[in-house]
Amino acid sequence: MAREVLSILVDNHAGVLTRVASMFSRRGFNIDSLTVSATNDPKISRITAVVQADKDALEQIIKQTARLEETKEIFPLCQENSLLRELLLVKVEAPEEKRSAIREVAQIYKAKIIDLSVTSMVMELTGEPEKIDAFLRVLSPYRILEMCRTGITALERGVREA
C-alpha cells in the first residue's frame, strides 16, 4: 500500500463533500488527509484526498468517485509532477531561556513566529508534508502545547492533458 494523492473536481454546492467522503467510508477506505476549496471557477471545488491504497484499490476509488453525479474529474497526482503543500500551526512552551533556541529552529525551517506570550510561542510553517514532519521532529525536545495541520493540498505542474 502506498500513499496516494487524489485530485477531485466536483460541483461547488452543499452536500458534495459529504457524498464523496461517505462513498470512501462505505467502501472501507480511510482518508488520511482531506482539503477542499473553490477553484478559479466558482461553480467547481477541488477536493484533495490522501489515501493508503494499492493499485487495485486506487482504481476502485477512482471509478466509484467518478460515478458520483457531482464529480467532474478525478485523477491521481504523481508526486514527481505535482506541488504538495501543507500548513502547520504549532504552539510550543517557550520560557525565556529556551526562546532563542526555538527561534533558531524556526529560522532554519523558515517558520514564521506569529505569536509570542510570556510562556509560549506560536509558529506557522508551510511546506511539503515531509518538511512539516521534520520540523516537528526537531521541535520534539520542546513541549508542544497544541498543533493543527491542514492536510495536503496539491496541484499538478504545467498544463493537464485532457
Give the mean pLDDT of 133-147: 97
pTM (2 decimals)? 0.84
Length of the chain: 162
pLDDT at 64: 93
Per the model's pLDDT, the better-predicted residue between 135 and 30 turns out to be 135
Is there a domain that residue 160 lies in?
no
What is the pLDDT of the chain when averaged over all its residues? Answer: 93
pLDDT of res. 162: 56
Domain that holds residue 135: 84-154
Is residue 20 very low, low, confident or very high in pLDDT (cuts 50, 70, 90)?
very high
Query: What percent of the chain lies above the pLDDT cut of 90?
Result: 83
Domain boundary among 26, 54, 77: 77
Q: Is residue 94 part of a domain?
A: yes
Q: Looking at the structure, tell me whether residues 30 and 13 fall in a common domain.
A: yes
In terms of DSSP bridges, do strands 31-38 and 44-53 run parallel, antiparallel, or are they unpaired?
antiparallel
Whichever domain contains 110, its CATH number is: 3.30.70.1150
Indicate the pLDDT class of residue 43, thresholds 50, 70 and 90.
Answer: very high
CATH code for the domain in which residue 30 is found: 3.30.70.260
Band of pLDDT at residue 159, cut at 50, 70 and 90: confident
Name the pLDDT band for 161 (thresholds 50, 70, 90). Answer: low
Q: Is the dihedral of CA 132, 133, 136, 138 positive or negative?
A: negative
Q: Check whether 30 has a pLDDT greater than 80.
A: yes
